[in-house]
Structure 1
């Protein structure tokens, strides 16, 4: 073991002694996400999810998506945004627990691979046949506020775990926080919000985001990628707001 590795190991041990790792959801010591919180997450069944916005119980398309245009070829979310997932996202984005990036990426990858196996007619090749992984970026103001792009970190971990290439393809313009927006306001604000800055022509992409509320953000990012020539854009999120 190198001197640098030994120093990192010692630093980690000291850090655990001074501030033990706790579950980001229930604060139980021992793991970033404890087994109990993992078990209580409501996982979305890929055989019964809306293919356009990832909503559970959608089978084909949910009521809100019927008749609406979309640039996403398929969409999937791993879990429902409630209870542990909601607390985990807040701990990661707003409380700065950056170690959660790998755990979130792991849950997303497991959900996508399970969807490929369990519902191949709907999600076949979503990750295994993708050319690259990309992500919905934050605005410059959000980056300054948090000090990092939360989805860039998740996408990096996801790419490393899946063996896919990582493509930092998008820039997000504007500075509005969409969490307080209505569905109509999200749709209006997201138009033209994204710029493609990498070559994506002919590429089959997996587009990652943390939370889908209405699908407007991910669809706007997918629209920009399709306009730039991407062949396929499949959306994958950690959680879907529902109910």
Structure 2
């Protein structure tokens, strides 16, 4: 990974360290499952705690090279990395993109945008919009509460941290009613951020909410039978 700071593409060694998520996956959360019981199989965690969104898909398991790549993209002023990540995002989300009306990036608070210079999820959404043709609406979902950094927080701590953090721009509520949208994020860890975002969009009348991320943290999952 020593060349990642300047290289426009990945070396063979880094490619071999990427772990793409493949079928079988949970039909709701998109996490890999240990065995296949059909296209509508869901994990036990999704059965026990149904997500606020309809479907989520992620391209990569968040470890190794994927973790380092996203860290460079997110914290080291490397917005061009979005062009490398977008084809993977489009491939894993092709079924979701077919019927989507809008792409909506998970927003950052203005303070964080100033410190990082850009919203990495918005960069992904713009690049994906260009390649897929699905319109992107960057400002329609806003983060109105400056939340604490969530690294190291438990799921419950993250949920409390994000309470009241998002709102739909008031003059865009009508435009979202009955629409199918895809939330775009760089990485899903516990799912608290996309859950809070999805709940906000649902209150605005969005009909279907799917989620696309470059990577996600994967724990052991069991098929619900």
TM-score (norm 1): 0.78
Kindly state the Cα deviation for residue 70 of structure 1 after the two structures are TM-superposed: 2.4
Contact map agreement 2:59 2:88 (CA 8 A) in 1: yes
- For residue 223 of structure 1, the aligned residue among 187, 199, 206 is 199
The answer to whether residue 171 in structure 2 is matched with residue 171 in structure 1 is: no
Partner-residue secondary structure (3-state), 1:55: coil
**2:97 corresponding residue in structure 1:** 127
Cα distance between partner residues in 2 of 1:83 and 1:232? 33
* Aligned partners of 2:26 and 2:42 also within 8 Å: yes
* Alpha carbons of structure 1 residues 66 and 191: separation in structure 2 relative to 1, 3 Å: farther
The gaps in structure 1 that reach 5 residues or longer are 1-24, 117-125
* Stretch moving more, 35-44 or 68-77: 35-44
Q: Distance in 1 between matches of 2:130 and 2:137?
A: 12
Query: 4+ residue runs of structure 1 moved beyond 4 angstroms?
Result: none
Does residue 146 in structure 1 map to residue 116 in structure 2? yes
1:134-155 deviation digits (Å, cap 9, x = unpaired): 1101122211211111111111
1:182: which partner in 2? 154
Deviation at 1:127, TM superposition (A): 0.4
Which residue does the alignment assign to 2:209?
Answer: 233
What do you get for the CA RMSD once the two structures are aligned?
1.9
Aligned residues: 207
Q: Partners in 2 of 1:186 and 1:62 — Cα distance?
A: 22
In structure 2, distance between residues paired with 1:188 and 1:34: 41
1:32 to 9, 22, 28: 9
Taking the aligned partners of 1:165 and 1:142, their CA distance within structure 2 comes to 25
1:67 positional shift: 2.2
What is the rounded CA distance, in whole Å, between the counterparts of 1:92 and 1:175 in structure 2? 21
Which SS does the other structure have where 2:97 is aligned?
coil
Higher RCO (CA-CA < 8 Å; seq separation 6+): 2
Tell me by how many angstroms 1:238 deviates. Answer: 0.4
Residues 44-63 of structure 1 show CA distances to partners (whole Å, capped at 9, x for unaligned) of: 11x32233433222763334
1:214 aligns with 2:186: no
Judged with a 3 Å threshold, the aligned counterparts in structure 2 of structure 1 residues 51 and 188 are, in CA distance, closer, same or farther, namely: farther
After TM superposition, give the deviation of residue 133 of structure 1 in Å. Answer: 0.9
Which residue of structure 2 aligns with residue 8 of structure 1?
A: none
TM-score scaled by length of structure 2? 0.84
Instruction: Give 5+ residue unaligned stretches, structure 2.
Output: 220-225
Show the counterpart of 2:222: none
Alignment of 1:35-54 (within 5 A): 35-45=12-22, 47-54=23-30
